[in-house]
């Protein structure tokens, strides 16, 4: 293999969550600075990097498929597995002939260095740390990619919750937070580069800052570091919108909701992970709340914000989920009326508590329950969007709408409702005032 980086062609493929997307963009940025040339994930690259995911069995399978695809596209290329599946599979992944180099979740900032070391002296085909022992936040400056409108900013890694179905604490380690100074520094850089919207993300975003010295981590302090960061970030010139990634329950209090609503740049779009509308299922999941507490948080947001878009995740067919428990979930979703509900069929994961639980639900039943929840989601999504008709909103223009023709643009409202508008003089990153219409259309005010 060639060992000189200038001009060498490197291709990335990302799997999984927004945190992974951020890290893929950051690794690409790192490799471009080192002199590599970015090419599509297609035949002809010298190096293929797959940022893997392990949230479900399907994610594991897709990770392996993409690694095999990379080697098939160029058998002489260096194939690098990074990310969550690589961390969990460990050195055993090297038994797969498609994989040359395995890099764990706390080593992505050293990608260029590790590739050179491997190719230069055959050093360490697997670079993996004890992720559970890590207590530092890996600085990995990223970017937004594409048009200069929306950029993701990772401010937290790891999770301390240990839900009974989840491998992520084993793949990502414990909560580790980016310092406010470095978080704000990167936000300023992104603003200077022209990004208008910043999406704050992390593995367990609600725990941001609870590992800082002086933060007790008890209920009174939960959410305070995140709130302070949002308030300070809102003061940065050039940033027009701040959006939050997924939030775990137990964060929102009436006081916190009021203070969040006072930040005029904060988008009224909150993703609160429910997972089940049955208290007995939540207990088996080791989720540390019940549906009554969850609903109180929803009400606090709805009282503080005019029309917040509340979205969630639900797992269908968790071990032992009875028909009665499933019906409890249906009734709760009917009561809660989320804007969007992301439905996942339970995926059995070796090494988790849920894997050993009795009464595993048959796949056919999971599919039936998932289909019913998807139907309910379509009703609630349409109802929320219908409720916005005739109201004025700002639309952040993102890209031309080729389907509608010359002069049309697509963009998102603060609630993250996608609309198209005729704006022949528009440009990416511009905010326009619109009246929400029918079928995803809007009219300029």
Tens-digit pLDDT profile for residues 321-357: 999 999 999 999 999 999 999 999 999 999 999 999 9
| Model pLDDT, residue 249 | 85
Question: What secondary structure letter does DSSP report for 266?
Answer: B
Q: Are 144 and 150 in contact (CB under 8 A)?
A: yes
Structure tokens given for 129: 């740390």
Q: Are 241 and 198 in contact (CB under 8 A)?
A: yes
The residue among 215 and 362 whose pLDDT is bigger is: 362
- Per-residue pLDDT, averaged over 291-295, amounts to 98
Residue 442, exposed/middle/buried by CB under 10 A (0-12, 13-18, 19+)? Answer: buried
The residue among 1 and 6 whose pLDDT is bigger is: 6
Rounded Cα distance, 441 and 410, in Å: 9
Cα→Cα distances 269→244, 265, 305, Å: 7, 12, 10
- The phi, psi pair for 196, rounded to 5°, reads -100, -25
Q: Are 250 and 257 in contact (CB under 8 A)?
A: no
User: What is the C-alpha R_g of the chain?
Assistant: 22
| Model pLDDT, residue 220 | 38
Residue 75: Cβ within 10 Å count: 10
| Model pLDDT, residue 235 | 98
Q: Is 379 helix (H, G, I), strand (E, B) or coil?
A: helix
Segment 126-182, tens digit of pLDDT: 888 899 999 999 998 876 555 679 999 999 999 999 999 999 999 999 999 999 999
| Model pLDDT, residue 217 | 46
Structure tokens given for 280: 């007995």
Q: Are 201 and 122 in contact (CB under 8 A)?
A: no
Residue 382: Cβ within 10 Å count: 10
Rounded Cα distance, 338 and 335, in Å: 9
| Model pLDDT, residue 323 | 98
Rounded Cα distance, 30 and 310, in Å: 35
Q: Are 74 and 44 in contact (CB under 8 A)?
A: yes
Least confident of 138-152, 237-251, 270-284: 138-152
- pLDDT > 90 in the chain, percent: 89
Read off the pTM. Answer: 0.92
Rounded Cα distance, 176 and 204, in Å: 10
Q: Are 129 and 174 in contact (CB under 8 A)?
A: no
CA angle 118, 120, 121 (to 5 degrees): 75
DSSP codes joined into one string, 81-131: EEEHHHHHHGGGGGGSTT-SEEE-TT-GGGHHHHHHHHHHH---SEE---G
Q: Are 352 and 319 in contact (CB under 8 A)?
A: no
Rounded Cα distance, 330 and 314, in Å: 10
| Model pLDDT, residue 141 | 83
Q: Is 357 helix (H, G, I), strand (E, B) or coil?
A: coil
Rounded Cα distance, 159 and 26, in Å: 21
């Amino acid at each position: 293999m060639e060992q000189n980086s200038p001009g060498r062609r490197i291709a990335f493929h990302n799997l999984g969550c927004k945190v992974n997307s951020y890290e893929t963009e950051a690794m690409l940025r790192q490799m471009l600075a080192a002199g590599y040339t970015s090419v599509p994930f297609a035949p002809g690259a010298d190096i293929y990097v797959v940022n893997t995911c392990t949230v479900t069995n399907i994610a594991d399978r897709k990770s392996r498929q993409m690694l095999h695809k990379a080697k098939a596209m160029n058998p002489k290329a260096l194939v690098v597995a990074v990310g969550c599946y690589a961390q969990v599979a460990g050195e055993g992944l090297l038994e797969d002939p498609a994989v040359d180099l395995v890099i764990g979740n706390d080593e992505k900032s050293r990608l260029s260095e590790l590739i050179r070391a491997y190719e230069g002296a055959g050093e360490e085909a697997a670079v993996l740390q004890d992720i559970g022992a890590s207590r530092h936040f890996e600085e990995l400056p990223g970017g937004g990619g594409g048009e200069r409108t929306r950029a993701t900013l990772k401010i937290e890694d790891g999770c301390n919750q240990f839900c009974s179905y989840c491998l992520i604490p084993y793949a990502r380690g414990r909560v580790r937070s980016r310092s406010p100074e470095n978080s704000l520094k990167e936000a300023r850089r992104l603003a200077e580069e022209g990004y208008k919207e910043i999406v704050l993300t992390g593995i367990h975003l609600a725990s941001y800052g609870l590992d800082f010295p002086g933060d007790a981590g008890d209920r009174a302090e939960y959410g305070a570091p995140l709130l302070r960061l949002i308030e300070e970030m809102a003061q940065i010139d050039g940033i027009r919108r701040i959006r939050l990634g997924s939030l775990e329950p137990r964060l929102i209090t009436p006081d916190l909701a009021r203070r969040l609503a006072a930040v005029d740049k904060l988008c009224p779009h909150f993703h609160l992970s429910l997972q089940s509308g049955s208290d007995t299922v939540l207990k088996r999941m080791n989720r540390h709340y019940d549906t009554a507490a969850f609903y109180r948080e929803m009400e606090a947001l709805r009282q503080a914000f005019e029309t917040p878009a509340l979205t969630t995740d639900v797992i269908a067919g968790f071990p032992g989920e009875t028909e009665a428990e499933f019906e409890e979930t249906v009734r709760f979703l009917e009561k809660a009326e989320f804007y969007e509900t992301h439905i996942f069929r339970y995926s059995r994961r070796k090494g988790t508590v849920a894997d050993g639980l009795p009464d595993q639900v048959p796949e056919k039943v999971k599919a039936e329950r998932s289909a019913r929840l998807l139907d309910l989601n379509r009703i609630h999504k349409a109802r929320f969007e219908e409720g916005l008709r005739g109201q004025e909103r700002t639309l952040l223009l993102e890209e031309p709408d080729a389907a509608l023709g010359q002069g049309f643009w697509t963009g998102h409202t603060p609630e993250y409702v996608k609309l198209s508008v005729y704006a022949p003089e528009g440009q990416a990153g511009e905010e326009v005032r619109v009246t929400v219409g029918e079928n995803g259309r809007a009219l300029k005010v």
